[in-house]
Amino acid sequence: MSDKPLKVREVSNQELQITLMSRNELIRDLRQKIKHFAKQQGFGDDDVFEVQLALNEALANVIEHAYRGDQNGRIDVKFHADANGDLVIIIKDYGQKCDPTRLKPRDLDELRDGGLGLFLMEKLMDVVQFDFSQDDGTVLTLIKRKQCQKEA
Amino acid sequence: MEPTIEKQQDVIIIKPEGEIDTHNCEALKQTIQNELQKGAKRLLIDMSQVSYMDSAALGVLVSGFKNARASRAQFKLANMQPAVAKIFQLTRLSKFFDIHNSSDEAIASFK
């Protein structure tokens, strides 16, 4: 990708496309952007916080696992409000694919300092879907429903 | 930003600030570790100025708690903002930590 670590393209009021390098310091920028976008789409503070955290965890996982700390990997992110008003986040990386059989949230009854990212994504979002069928990399789709009242 | 450190009676109070995430959580980890290495036996993390945490930041508190336990030190948290408290509840970490509503309450609870 170009030498700019973060590029933003506002396609419409309902769609934002962002390309960023695989650097942890950019996650904060993405949190701010999804906050602004989700508020613009009418999501309340609790939902906005949950979407911010889920996006944070997804990007941190890509940087750690798909790019293994390489700061020059490319990540394409799309924020999109669909016809139902649901918030769809699509994250495409071009790094190493993980083994889908190892992709499961960990046991919360043990006190460990790690492995909570996937658990949080699944807890906070209505849909968490990995697509490993791409020739290069992985696509992760996260959806927050506009009207869904999730069970605690 | 480096967390501030103060001492009240024999309690070391560490006060991190702002949004703590995978990019900047190392400073908090180092601060906790340094205080334990200096021999602190009563550690309080005042969370009042922390507006956001991700799972990496949670991991720093978990490792701080475990390291404190290994050093036979007490480790407590206080003054969590609602958004941060919510992450502890979601991850069920609140059952492992000694969490207080205020610093005074936490300080008074040290044995």
pLDDT tens for each residue of B66-86: 999 999 999 999 999 999 999
Judged by CB atoms closer than 8 Å, whether chains meet at A117 and B55 is answered as yes
The pLDDT tens digits of the residues spanning A99-141 come to 767 777 777 777 777 779 999 999 999 999 999 998 999 999 9
pTM above 0.90, yes or no: yes
- Residue among A6, A53, A63, A121 with most chain B CBs within 10 A, to mutate: A53
- Kindly state the DSSP code that residue A24 receives in the 8-state scheme: G
Residue B14 in tokens: 């560490």
- Domain definitions of chain B by residue range: 4-109
In angstroms, the first-to-last Cα distance of chain A is: 41
What's the confidence (pLDDT) of residue A152? 44
The pLDDT tens digits of the residues spanning A30-57 come to 999 999 999 999 999 999 999 999 999 9
In whole angstroms, give the CA distance from residue B74 to residue B97. Answer: 10
Angle formed at CA A30 by CA A26 and CA A31, multiple of 5 degrees: 115
Which chain A residue has the Cα nearest residue B91?
A108
E-strand spans in A13-147? 15-21, 74-81, 87-93, 127-131, 138-144
B residues 53-82 closer than 8 Å to A (CB) = 54-56, 58-60, 62-63, 65-66
* A54–chain B nearest CA distance, Å: 9
ipTM, interface predicted TM-score of the complex: 0.92
Neighbours of A100 (CB within 10 A): 10
Are residues B14 and B49 in contact, defined by beta-carbon separation less than 8 angstroms? no
Q: What is the CATH number of domain A6-144?
A: 3.30.565.10
Which residues in chain B are contacts of A109 at CB distance < 8 A?
A: 92
Q: What is the CATH number of domain B4-109?
A: 3.30.750.24
Q: If you count them, how many residues does chain B have?
A: 111
Which residues are CB-neighbours of A102 under 8 A, at least 6 positions away?
Answer: none
Q: Percent of chain B having pLDDT more than 70?
A: 100
Among B23, B54, B91, select the one facing A119 at the smallest CB separation.
Answer: B91
